[in-house]
A and B are shown apart, each in its own frame.
Chain A
Amino acid sequence: MIRGRIDRLRRRAGTTALPYLLLLPALLLELAVHLVPMVLGAVMSLKRLTQFFIRDWTAAPWAGLANFRTAVDFDAPVGRALLHSFWVTCAFTVLAVGLSWLIGTTAAVLMQDSFRGRGLLRAVFLLPYALPVYAAVITWSFMFQRDTGLINHVLHDQLHLVDDKPFWLLGDNSFVALVTVSVWRSWPFAFLTLTAGLQNIPRDLYEAAALDGAGVWQQIRRITLPSLRPVNQVLVLVLFLWTFNDFNTPYLLFGRSAPAAADLISVHIYQSSFVTWNFGAGSAMSVLLLLFLLVVTAGYLLLTSRRKDATA
């Protein structure tokens, strides 16, 4: 036993390079595709990088902080549009994450106990998560068509709730359409994660609570929800980052020109870069976005960890 341990220690000491070697491929790949481009992006944001310098971007003239000044000059059109897009994204994120989390939690809690058909229902609920995003969003865009779509058919022709068929993918309604599709796509992930989290709650807790006379609602409030707190801490953060950075849903729903009411930040930056070929300005906006996300994430982690310490 002891000899084995010494053997093991010796082996470990002789192979200190091995773990680094094993990590090397993963590290190199992440460096090449994520970290190096990100540093380059920061450099590019300091350059006047237009389509004339695509072939050799290092030749673009330095711009100092001009790109940043343009991005945050809220009196000028570029800055005003960026600020507007930022607020739209914030409102969209709060609504979509809140609803996804609420629906996911409700479904997970309701399906904690087994009942007939639970397995099938779980598979159904995971469908939106399993479908490729473009197939799902294209279907939604068909449903939102003014004249041929299901939504207006139900609202106008069948329920007579609206007098005139509204446009869903143009104007202010596009925000509603965007939130709906986003929630439809992301709540199954919350459901999946929370279902996994619920499996770790020992059944004894519920039995003890039931013996003490606690009803279903009390059991949910006192046992289920507090036990999910660690899972929720990560889940809400992940949902926030995904939703805030969501490009696919608006891009596929509205195409290259999103209506002002649904102009999410990712599409906004994409357009500022690839439609106008102004990479310097696009990079500056990206850097600002990253800074914002870092601050929010750090603040969130700090806040939730402190609360965890306080309750522990």
Chain B
Amino acid sequence: MIDPPASFRWLRRVLLAALTVFTLVPVLVMLGSSLKPLQDVQGPFRWIPSTVTLRPYADIWRTVPLGRYLVNSLIVAGGSTICSVLVAIVAAYAVSRYRFRGRRFFTVTVLSTQMFPGILFLLPLFLLLVNVGNATGVALYGSRGGLILTYLTFSLPFSIWMLVGYFDSIPRDLDEAALVDGCGPVRALVRIIVPAAVPGIVAVAVYAFMTAWGEVLFASVLTNEETRTLAVGLQGYATLNDVYWNQVMAASLVVSVPVVAGFLLLQRYLVAGLTAGAVK
């Protein structure tokens, strides 16, 4: 827009301020309450802690086995991110650089799996994992491997879609020159395309990690006490007789920091990746 008038600027200030309050209040409640002593969160709500304490941050590790949940979440989210990115790079390369029969069918099929409600294949997947586990002796149900496998397919469709957009924006001449020079297609991908698409790949990795870190439904059914992830484990505080809200908020903050920091640091790439996908 060119030279918005003063009235527009005032409206902008008011609306954006209101929206900032709406957005930030829960974040401030989380931060503020995590620094309160227990009696502050057991009575009526108060904005300012009576005394600021770091006790909740020490206690959260004892009330529930938060450390174990954290490690499980790191393994599951990390594992599914690495696998998802690798599979997506290879698939996006094929879609972006080759014209073959079934190309459109593939993209539509893979993308459409995103629209299915998770509840739809949760029950069969649960039974499938139990039965395959019984038949082969490989424990899939309740294992981190089963969860990694599941999560990586969640981020895969969108990752492929985003990377195809990214790869398409890399001039074809670059890798075709490499092909003419005698590089195999795989080496052209590794040596030319991947280095040129680092921002897109980073964006996809962040997306995959966030997806796996935040998933609740499958985690609640496909894990057991040993392999429980944060998504389920954090609810452990709420099932106690007395809910220690200050600890719940402290734990929520601790588990949010890695993803939020990663997301905010890399959001530029994520927006760029999204744009590359959207322009297509």
B216 touching A266, Cβ below 8 Å: no
Q: Which positions 146-179 of chain B face chain A at CB distance < 8 Å? A: 149-150, 152-153, 156-157, 160, 176, 179
Which residues on A sit within 8 Å (CB–CB) of B122? Answer: 270
Question: Within the complex, which residue of A30, A111, A134, A270 is in contact with B119, where a contact is CB–CB below 8 Å?
Answer: A270
B117 touching A245, Cβ below 8 Å: yes
Q: Which positions 125-143 of chain A face chain B at CB distance < 8 Å? A: 125-136, 138-143
Most buried by B among A112, A124, A206: A124
Scoring B residues 1 to 39 as 1 if CB is less than 8 Å from chain A, else 0, what string do you get?
Answer: 111110010011001100110111111011001000000
B93 touching A22, Cβ below 8 Å: yes
Q: What is the CB-to-nearest-CB distance from B166 to chain A, in angstroms, rounded to a whole number? A: 13
B67 within 8 A of A: no
Scoring A residues 156 to 199 as 1 if CB is less than 8 Å from chain B, else 0, what string do you get?
Answer: 01000000000000000000000000001000100011011101
A299 within 8 A of B: no
A150 within 8 A of B: yes
Complex Cα distance A57/B153, Å? 25
> A42: nearest residue on chain B (CB-CB)?
B124
Question: Within the complex, which residue of B1, B30, B90, B245 is in contact with A112, where a contact is CB–CB below 8 Å?
Answer: B1
Evaluate whether A133 and B214 lie within 8 angstroms (CB atoms) in the complex, with A139-B249, A247-B118 already known. Answer: yes
Complex Cα distance A193/B123, Å? 32
**Pairs across A and B, CB under 8 Å, 10 listed:** A26-B160, A29-B87, A34-B121, A41-B121, A124-B20, A148-B245, A153-B45, A206-B1, A252-B235, A279-B127
Measured CB to CB, the residues of A under 8 A from B are 4, 7-8, 11-12, 15-16, 18-20, 22-23, 25-27, 29-30, 32-38, 40-41, 44, 54-57, 103, 106-107, 110-113, 115, 121-136, 138-143, 145, 147-150, 152-153, 157, 184, 188, 192-193, 195-197, 199-200, 206-207, 209-210, 215-216, 219-220, 224, 231, 234, 241, 244-245, 247-248, 251-252, 255, 266, 269-270, 273-274, 279, 282-283, 286-287, 289-290, 293, 297
